[in-house]
Structure 1
Amino acid sequence: PNGQSRLNIKSLANQWSTNDIQNYIAGEAEEYPYDAVRILETLLKKSLQGQIQVVNNNCYFLDEVAKPVGGGLYERLGFVQSLNLSSRRITLSIQTKLTTFYPEMSLLDFVHTHIGGKRIPSEYECKKLSRILKNCSIVTQQSNWKQVFEIDQFDKRRPNEITIE
């Protein structure tokens, strides 16, 4: 209400320290500290909050403009980071990625754009949409709930013709 936040901790997870990483590097611990490394990777991403957008572990700078490459597709340069521990050192690997994607828009607008009008797609257009959308990720959002789906095919049947068994 007055700008204060409240945090309710339901259970306390294991606690990790950077000492776990140092001990592993120094050969004083045999078990690889997966959780400590994951926490450190998360903190590195958090340090860039406000400058990057993270999508499926790929990081994209917010101030970079996506370039159109034709067919309604855009490409954007990003990176993937990972920490690796080996004897006597910790290595931060940065792998650049050039990703091609469709711009964020409603699925209905996407369909209307690709068939050239606000109408029901023909059988040919349904096949074309199936080809275009196959393996695309679709994000649905309602309030604070977000869910990601991968499209398998675009169905030409009308909603009243589809039954769920």
Structure 2
Amino acid sequence: MRALARRQRRRCGRRPDPRLAIIDTQSVKCLGLRGPCGYDGAKKVVGRKRVALVDVEGHVLALAIVPANVQDRDTLPALDDGKGKWLSLRLALLDGAFTAERCRVVEQDPDQKGFVVLERRWGVERTFGWLSHWGGLHRERVGRLDVATGRLARVASLMAANALNDPA
């Protein structure tokens, strides 16, 4: 995944190693399976949370899956393995549910109603949409978290390889 992300970045005219990342979570339902899952009270979903670290173009840098009852701010350690491969990262954009050092929290304007994509966060929202579309990953189907993370990484790699082969 790292090699594909670097090639995609070069193709977009960017340096191969990103300095800015966007981190977000997505709660998804689980099918009837064994393994860790939880209840996300904010989204009213019984299942798991996908945690994604992407660059500003939406290229996947790291992925992880945790039970849905884990708070967003507590999901950051799940990305530690992936973050360690990107030593060039200097700043991360997060939404208001996260709190961490060296991170810029982007908050919604109090006058806005409903769902609004926040500043520079369209990349991660688009990536979650691609993952759901490409892999049929609207729901989690795998019991073990490491297998589910591997399946998500496989779909992200296929997505990246297809984008590199697409001449448009």
> TM bucket by the smaller chain?
under 0.3
Higher normalized contact order (CA 8 Å, seq sep 6+, divided by chain length): 2
TM, length-normalised to structure 1: 0.21
Q: Which has the higher strand share?
A: 1
- TM-score, normalised by the number of residues in structure 2: 0.21
* Larger helix fraction of residues: 2
Larger Rg: 1
